[in-house]
Structure 1
Amino acid sequence: MTSTAAVIGSTGLVGSHILSTLLGLDTFKSIYTVSRRHPKAESPKLVAAVEADTTKWASNLSSITPPPSVVFSALGTTRAQAGGIANQWKIDHDLNVELAKAAHSAGVKTFVFVSSAGTRGFLSSSVPYSKMKVGVEDSIKSLDFDQAIILRPGLILGKREVEPTGGPLLNTVVRGLGKIAQGAQDFLGQEAEVIGRAAVRASVLASEGKAPSKYWVLEASDIVKLGRDEWKA
């Protein structure tokens, strides 16, 4: 069975790995992206829409005909890059919700969202970042897709084009733990490539009727299992 997919956030750390993974699989015949700049990946299967105005992204997504079988959103930014928490909220929360609604209205069956670990912890209700992620997760659930998949990775390991403060150091520390006890690293952080693969693998399993539930949440251990331990290229 062949499928089509759309990736939002395809130029980011995790999104770029989702895109490259999709392009490498015969299962997917066409992959669409909507982004401010062209993804680095190239393929005859890639249909890239470059749009600097993010307010037009939802309509770009809705205009894909026929609608993609699955939409992946790894869209996100940092407070520093956005220029404050209010602007970050517009991207991490508002735009993600708008895109999910557009995908549902267009008839997309499966929606995959890369969220974050710990967003529903004891103090999460008072942390803006957690509130953003929880709000998107809840909106996706309320839309009642045929299949919704939420990934909750820990620290995302990998080199970003714009490194957040302390990012390289955290990467080094967590990867260092992996040399002592791999389980410690797997719990705290996952490689971006592994997260990307897990997102794609989960969508394929869902298309085969093998998802454990209609609203499937993958925590760190699930991500490592699907994206590394059981991954077959």
Structure 2
Amino acid sequence: MKTALLFGSSGLVGGHLLNQLIKDTNYSKIKLFVRSVPEISDPKVEIIKTDFSNLQNHKEDIKGDDCFVCIGTTKKNSPDKDEYKRVELDIPKEVAKIAKSNLVNSFIFVSALYANPKSSGEYIRCKGLVEEELKELNFPKLGIMRPSFLLGNRKEKRVSETIGIFVFKFLSPLLLGPLKKMKPIHSETVAKTMIRAANENLEKNIFESNEIDELVLNQS
């Protein structure tokens, strides 16, 4: 029986991931790293109120088998450039370094479509830089998810994302070949593939959006 470490459980993918981990018999404990304590009561869940500005204070807590990171923000929620960079880049990198030092076996990270450390777009660049750090840390098992527009019920509405989903859903039949990865994907599907990546030998560590979808379809 394994211990899962989960960062970002309040988000779209993280919420599904938490629910699936609770049901998964491979895991006897789920350590939930949160800013504010959620209303959840389950014997498998250990809630760790986390100071994300001082993650080294939680070094002893970041111990387990599989670390799942779904942390992210938006320019609306983090208008300050330094705070945005801290959430999208610094926190995932520091969590990964601590996890590696604590001999955590697998690290599964929600990145982004077209993640690229040299991109001019800040969001894509930050995700790409985290990916580079993860590869250098050389975890025994690494899973990087690059979902397209995420489908699901968000707590907050994102106008630009809603428009993007509508457009790409409409265009989906035309998105063939290398464009397949642009099709919107359900957040629950991403969560399922993250757990598979931690528990199976999938022969690769970067999963484009269409590959995430295909893995779940093939499983069912």
Take 1:186 and 1:126, find their aligned partners in 2: how far apart are those partners?
Answer: 21
* Distance in 1 of aligned mates of 2:39 and 2:161: 22
- Superposed CA offset, 1:115-174 (max 9, x none): 0011239xx521211110111000111111111111111111122212223233333444
TM-score by length of 1: 0.84
Q: How does 1:15-94 map to 2 (within 5 A)?
A: 15-39=14-38, 41-51=40-50, 53-60=51-58, 62-64=59-61, 67-94=63-90
| 1:58 Cα deviation after fit | 4.6
Q: TM-score, normalised on structure 2?
A: 0.88
Superposed CA deviations along residues 40-79 of structure 1, whole A, max 9, x for unmatched, are 554210111123x31134532x2138x2111000001011
Give the conservation status (yes or no) of the 8 Å contact 2:183–2:210: no
Give 1:190's aligned residue. 185
Whether the 8 Å CA contact 2:175–2:183 is kept in 1: the answer is no
Number of residues of Structure 1 aligned to a counterpart in Structure 2: 218
How far apart in 2 are the matches of 1:197 and 1:113?
13
Gaps of 5+ in 2: none
- For the aligned residues, what is the CA RMSD? 2.3
Change (3 A) 1:168 1:159: farther
Q: Percent identity of the aligned residues?
A: 25
Partner of 1:211: 202
Deviations 1:202-233 (A, max 9, x none): 1111xxxx2314xx11111221022x30345x
Shift of 1:37: 2.1
1:97 aligned to 2:97? no
For residues 4-32 of structure 1, the C-alpha deviation after alignment (integer angstroms, 9 at most, x for no partner) is 11110011111111111111111111111
Structure 1 Cα separation of the partners of residues 164 and 38 of structure 2: 26
Matched AA of 1:15: G
